[in-house]
Amino acid sequence: MHPPNTTSSPVSGLHAYHQLSAFLLTHADIPSIPLLPLSELSSLEPLLRMYVSTLCTPNPAAVPQKLPNAAMELLPFCTTSPPMRQETVIRLTDVFSSLRDVAALGGVDMDVDGRDEGSVARAEEAVRGLVEMFGEEEARAVVEFWKEEWVAE
């Protein structure tokens, strides 16, 4: 800290206030001391009364924010024909452990033409499981959604 300035101007007072605030914030060993801006000595009492009254007034209890559930908020729209039926959303959340796993459906090809036998077998198994769960139309809509790039508006 610098020695106090003998001249008193609004600019130097404001500068000193900011300098003291910064000093107190950077030194954890100094207990928290409230800094109250004081333009003149006569305003000290009303300023202190206002400060103490705000300390004594209980803050309203914060209402906990309900965090959105990605599965229930986003998943209904992860289809080429939104919104997805609630039953389909619930089944998808039962089968897939995360939205990332659902997004991996973009790698499943509903049309198996022109690929090697191993990948055809895996794709057919994945497609068969989706079709059994949701039906051909819904399964295709979910898989096709993850193959495209979509712009949110």
- pLDDT digits over 82-114, tens only? 898 888 888 888 887 888 877 777 776 655 555
Q: Which amino acid is at 99?
A: L
- As for how many domains the chain has, the answer is 2
Same domain as 47, residue 77: no
92 domain-assigned: yes
64 domain-assigned: no
44 domain-assigned: yes
Q: Which amino acid is at 39?
A: S
14 domain-assigned: yes
Do residues 112 and 120 touch, judged by C-beta distance below 8 A?
yes
- pLDDT digits over 118-153, tens only? 655 665 677 778 888 888 888 888 888 888 776 766
User: What pLDDT score does 122 carry?
Assistant: 64
29 domain-assigned: yes
123 domain-assigned: yes
Do residues 5 and 16 touch, judged by C-beta distance below 8 A?
yes
28 domain-assigned: yes
1 domain-assigned: no
On the CB side of 2, CA atoms within 13 Å amount to 9
Q: Which residue has the higher pLDDT, 127 or 10?
A: 127
Q: Domain span at residue 135? A: 70-147
The first and second tokens of residue 149, run together, are 């790039």
